[in-house]
Structure 1
Amino acid sequence: MRLLILGGTNFVGRATALEALARGHEVTCLARGTKGSPPDGARHVVADRTRPGAYDEVAGERWDAVIDVATQPGQVRSALVALAGSTDRWLHVSTISVYADHSVEGADETAELLEPLAADEMGSMEDYGHAKVACERAVTAALGTERSLLARAGLIGGPGDLSGRTGYWPWRFAHPATDDGSVLVPVDAGCRTALIDVRDLAAWLVHSAEARTTGAFDVIANAAPLAEHLAVAREVAGHSGPVVEVGPEWLEQHEVGQWYGPRSLPLWVGPEDSPGLAGRPTSRALAAGLVPRPLAETLADVLAWEADRDQPHGAGLTDEEERELVAAAREVRGTSESPGGTKAP
């Protein structure tokens, strides 16, 4: 196949280009290249999608499939204007954040979506789900459901994840900040998580292009309670020190953030979002060829990727914050303000 990847130099796009090349396909990546280069063997068309004429070099060619990872609706719309007539199929990497309600476990691809963003660009990450809905609408309006695939991915992780959501926990368990090897963890019985390896998403996208798969798919993997995810991360890291458990109220009082970012405990989210983010069925994607690898393999590979860093990419607690919070948690152990106790291995 001749594949055009709009992107191809960073994370999902690059992993998809690598997978397509490994399968023997001809790959062209259209991207600015400011975050890296396409893999060896791929043709790189340098273009800025915010500028007129961005697609001129590739618009006159015929493509078996176009794969787009864009989030800005204006970029998707301009690409479709230029390229919809030049390809048989269009695969858009979307997100489960398009859904209006994340409180219901088991909701599938027919669930209600957010209102689409009217603007061409997001004003902030608060617009993320709305922007992706607008991207989806543009794709299906231009090519119909019979020529398009919407890959509504859950949390995407693996080597190359700069957000730190994949790497923080195996890294922290491998690099405790305290003298006795203690690690602070959130305890929230209602919190679930799910993580699909970027390499498995890429493999499924290329397979779907080959198989001419169409429709909307929730593409998630390794759904489990957060406690199980942390247990796998701890095992991968070989951690044998104490685990200091703290609850949501205590974390809020100590200004520890959810999900990702500085001074956070990554992957921990509140009960209003957890069921729908991690509890959506993957039956349609599995039936269409998705083959997720075990979580332990992803976390081990990410730990190796993060091995030489003093702090994992993008998220979590610094060593100083970790020591401060572990000490604070232990100060209230055994009182009415107990954050959850200290558990030995």
Structure 2
Amino acid sequence: MRLLVLGGTAFVGRAVVAEALTRGWDVTVLSRGVSGPPPAGVRALTGDRTDPADLRQLAGERWDLVVDTWRDDPAAVRASAGLLAGSAGRYLYVSSLSVYRWPASPGFDEDAPLVPYPQPVDGDDFDAYAMAKAGGERAVLDAFGKRGLLARTGLILGPYEYVGRLPWWLLRMARGGQLLAPGPADRGLQYVDSRDLAGWLLSAGERGLSGPYNVLSGVGHTTMGGLLDACRTATGGDAELTWVDEAFLLDHGVRAWSELPIWLPAGDRLAASYEVDSSRAFATGLLDCRPVGATVEDTWRWLGTLAPDRIDVEAGQRKPWLTAEREAALLAAWRA
């Protein structure tokens, strides 16, 4: 198989490239080089896909599959899909659950209502992201029709996660001491490991699947308690978990997702992100979700390869996550 990956050097794109190489495929990547070079054995083209001149490097070649993980202005997806429609067999687009109309009903599937596109965006980061992904989906289907595959994902975890969610929990667990854990411990989590997503994506493309799929683990694949226990085991830390009621956290202004990563309280607008019907993806027979312990351990192992001065950048720790001072104040208030 001849595979073109647009990007291919960071997180999901990197996992796709690694998986394709294990299959012995012929892999080409187009990237700016910002996230470093691709693995050995890959043909690397350097360029900015938003620059028409750079994008034209792809003209005149043929690929069996194209993988695109773009998350910004959908004009970039429209340009690449339009250019490649006559020379690529299938276009595989990593989309998002954000394209559904929120709040969504628990247990929603691929037939759930979608967000209207395009719609005005008034400075809301989530709505801007939803418009980017909805526009990307539209561009792929306009150019490739039934040769387009839309992998709608929610929370993605695994090594090389530059977003910083799982790395934050691992680094916090390694620090030890009294740790604020957002209750309840048995709240189910639903996500996909980047490597499992990559494996499903390439197999689905090879099989000629098309249309939308919710590509996530089954509901309740793990729990918040299961995730934090896995983090403690992986780091070997001595942190003592104090489970704090979600109503208390909300009353004290703790921001779900953006301040305390991965946590979504039951009443949150996006709470159904952990109750998604992913049976269509599982029915393909191609989705194999590894245990939470494997995802956590591999992510911790990767963090150990980073120089201390690179963790903030490469593992997403520059974001305004919960600070040690605020955590201590919240724990004191909770005990009181």
TM over 0.5: yes
Aligned-partner Cα distance in 1 for 2:152–2:328: 38
Relative to the length of structure 1, the TM-score reads 0.85
Find the counterpart in structure 2 of residue 341 from structure 1.
Answer: none
SS of the aligned residue for 1:166 comes to: helix
Q: Which amino acid aligns with 1:87?
A: A
Relative to the length of structure 2, the TM-score reads 0.87
Q: Is the contact made by 1:222 and 1:294 (CA closer than 8 Å) also made in structure 2? A: no
* Structure 1 runs of 4+ with >6 Å offset: none
SS of the aligned residue for 2:172 comes to: helix
> Considering only CA atoms, is the larger Rg found in Structure 1 or Structure 2?
1
Aligned-partner Cα distance in 1 for 2:167–2:273: 19
Find the counterpart in structure 2 of residue 80 from structure 1.
Answer: 81
Change beyond 3 A, Cα 1:154–1:124? closer
Aligned-partner Cα distance in 2 for 1:53–1:79: 12
2:283 to 261, 279, 287: 287
Q: Which amino acid aligns with 2:127?
A: E
Q: Which moved more, 1:243-252 or 1:62-71?
A: 243-252
Q: CA deviation at 1:141?
A: 1.5
Find the counterpart in structure 2 of residue 276 from structure 1.
Answer: 272
Per-residue CA deviation, residues 254-309 of structure 1 (Å, 9 max, x unaligned), is: 3322113xxx2211123234542011122211222011111111011112223465
SS of the aligned residue for 1:299 comes to: helix
Per-residue CA deviation, residues 62-106 of structure 1 (Å, 9 max, x unaligned), is: 111111111221001111221111111110000111110344111
Matched, 1:300 2:300: no
Q: CA deviation at 1:14?
A: 1.4
Change beyond 3 A, Cα 1:241–1:54? closer
Matched, 1:325 2:323: no
Q: CA deviation at 1:240?
A: 5.0
Matched, 1:219 2:212: no
Aligned length: 322
SS of the aligned residue for 1:85 comes to: coil
SS of the aligned residue for 1:276 comes to: helix
Q: Which amino acid aligns with 1:323?
A: A
Find the counterpart in structure 1 of residue 257 from structure 2.
Answer: 259
Q: CA deviation at 1:171?
A: 2.9
Q: Which amino acid aligns with 1:324?
A: A
Q: Is the contact made by 1:191 and 1:268 (CA closer than 8 Å) also made in structure 2? A: no
Q: Which amino acid aligns with 1:254?
A: H
Q: Which amino acid aligns with 1:319?
A: A
Find the counterpart in structure 2 of residue 313 from structure 1.
Answer: 316
Q: CA deviation at 1:189?
A: 7.7
Q: CA deviation at 1:247?
A: 2.4
Find the counterpart in structure 1 of residue 108 from structure 2.
Answer: 107
Aligned-partner Cα distance in 2 for 1:188–1:134: 36
Find the counterpart in structure 2 of residue 164 from structure 1.
Answer: 164
Q: CA deviation at 1:227?
A: 3.5
Find the counterpart in structure 2 of residue 94 from structure 1.
Answer: 95
Q: How does 1:137-176 map to 2 (within 5 A)?
A: 137-144=138-145, 146-176=146-176
Q: Which moved more, 1:272-281 or 1:204-213?
A: 272-281
Aligned-partner Cα distance in 2 for 1:96–1:244: 31
SS of the aligned residue for 1:265 comes to: coil
The alignment-based identity, stated in percent, is 39
Query: Alignment RMSD, CA only?
Result: 2.5
Per-residue CA deviation, residues 108-132 of structure 1 (Å, 9 max, x unaligned), is: 011111112369xx98443111221
Change beyond 3 A, Cα 1:156–1:268? same
Change beyond 3 A, Cα 1:79–1:214? same
Q: Which amino acid aligns with 2:331?
A: V
Find the counterpart in structure 1 of residue 38 from structure 2.
Answer: 38
Aligned-partner Cα distance in 2 for 1:165–1:194: 14
